[in-house]
């Protein structure tokens, strides 16, 4: 699944470099969030947009969406003023418009519904503008619903049931999705501990009665469930994970695909991030592209539980990993251009 198109352009208003990667349009127009952040250099931004667009292809395919994968990045050297931010967004909107519908943008790290409204001034190919302007607004809530659906499937595989009462859950990243997850899991009776690089978020968590730890300690906590809900690249070959189940919305959690084998060898069930994080895009496209009701779109998000169970069951039956089975499911749909189906068995994975 190689990238179809990468467009990098310096904005005429701002002078800031923005880019769009269209990874696949096999199933339909490419969709993916617009990331707005400071990068060490241009090549770091390009690497990021390519990785993220590939993950979006797999996310859409596994979720059964008639859309391909894409991503866009606005690469900054420093944080802009409000006026500069608007100019940067308008420049990025011009780049999106030049692709004539091949790529459809939504919010991502560093952007939100109000930013999508600025993009829409120059291009109609935008999702998740504020509700008062006809969009679905933030997708954080549906993303959390999807994570919880995947978590239920994972819990049944690891623990035999999806009961969260009395179980310790660590959430790494207490942003909008992490906060939604914490609230729901506490309501289910779980013991929730959160972590975040932003001290203000930790204070907010403490005020809500949650336990918290600093990020450097988060993977050292003995727990039943670990939920990565912040940045990607957190699991490498030497990363020690002390929870038997890992499922969360952070994108590109593994530094390389081979890490999935190492986690499995150590008895950790890792639900692929592009499966667990699909709730937001499933909901948004259902509402805005297909005019589904809120209830109908959420029902589609809930189906991620059965998709996750299918992947985990196949990994167990075939002696492979959840990542291998999720990739096979995506490839099967991309090849057939049809609804996801169970791929044929493959050779069992050999433990390291």
Compute the distance between CA of residue 284 and CA of residue 277 in angstroms, rounded to an integer.
Answer: 13
Q: How far apart are CA 194 and CA 328, in angstroms?
A: 33
37, 71, 156, 242: which is the annotated catalytic residue? 71
| Phi, psi of 294, deg, nearest 5 | -55, -45
For residue 281, count CB atoms less than 10 angstroms from its CB and return exposed for 0-12, middle for 13-18, buried for 19 or more: buried
Residue 71 among the catalytic residues: yes
Long-range contacts of 5-10 (CB under 8 A, 24+ apart): 5/99, 5/102, 6/46, 6/49, 6/50, 7/95, 7/98, 7/99, 8/42, 8/46, 9/91, 9/95
Q: How many CB atoms lie within 10 A of CB 145?
A: 21
Both tokens of 142, joined, read 């549906």
Catalytic residue numbers, as ranges: 71
């Amino acid at each position: 699944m190689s990238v179809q198109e990468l467009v990098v352009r310096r904005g005429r208003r701002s002078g800031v470099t923005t880019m769009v990667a269209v990874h696949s349009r096999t199933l339909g127009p490419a969709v993916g969030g617009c990331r707005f952040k400071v990068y060490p250099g241009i090549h770091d931004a390009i690497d990021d947009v390519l990785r993220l667009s590939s993950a979006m292809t797999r996310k859409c395919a596994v979720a059964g969406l008639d859309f391909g994968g894409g991503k866009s990045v606005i690469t900054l050297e420093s944080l802009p003023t409000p006026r500069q931010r608007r100019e940067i967004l308008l420049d990025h909107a011009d780049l999106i418009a030049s692709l004539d519908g091949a790529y459809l943008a939504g919010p991502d790290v560093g952007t939100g519904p109000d930013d999508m409204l600025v993009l829409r001034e120059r291009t109609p190919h935008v999702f998740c503008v504020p509700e008062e302007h006809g969009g679905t607004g933030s997708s954080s809530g549906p993303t959390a619903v999807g994570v919880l659906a995947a978590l239920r499937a994972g819990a049944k595989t690891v623990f035999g049931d999806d009961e969260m009462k009395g179980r310790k859950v660590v959430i790494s990243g207490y942003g909008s999705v992490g906060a939604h997850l914490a609230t729901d899991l506490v309501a289910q009776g779980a013991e929730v501990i959160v972590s975040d690089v932003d001290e203000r978020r930790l204070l907010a968590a403490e005020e809500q009665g949650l336990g918290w730890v600093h990020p450097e300690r988060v993977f050292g906590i003995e727990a039943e469930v670990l939920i990565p809900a912040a940045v990607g690249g957190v699991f490498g070959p030497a990363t020690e994970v002390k929870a038997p189940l890992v499922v969360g919305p952070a994108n590109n959690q593994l530094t390389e695909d081979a890490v999935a084998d190492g986690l499995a060898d150590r008895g950790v069930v890792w639900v692929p991030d592009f499966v667990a994080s699909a709730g937001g895009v499933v909901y948004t496209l259902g509402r805005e592209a297909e005019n589904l009701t809120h209830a109908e779109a959420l029902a589609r998000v809930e189906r991620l539980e059965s998709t996750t169970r299918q992947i985990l069951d196949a990994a167990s039956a075939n002696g492979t990993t959840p990542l291998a089975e999720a990739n096979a499911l995506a490839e099967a749909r991309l090849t057939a251009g049809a609804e996801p189906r169970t791929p044929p068995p493959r050779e069992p994975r050999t433990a390291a």
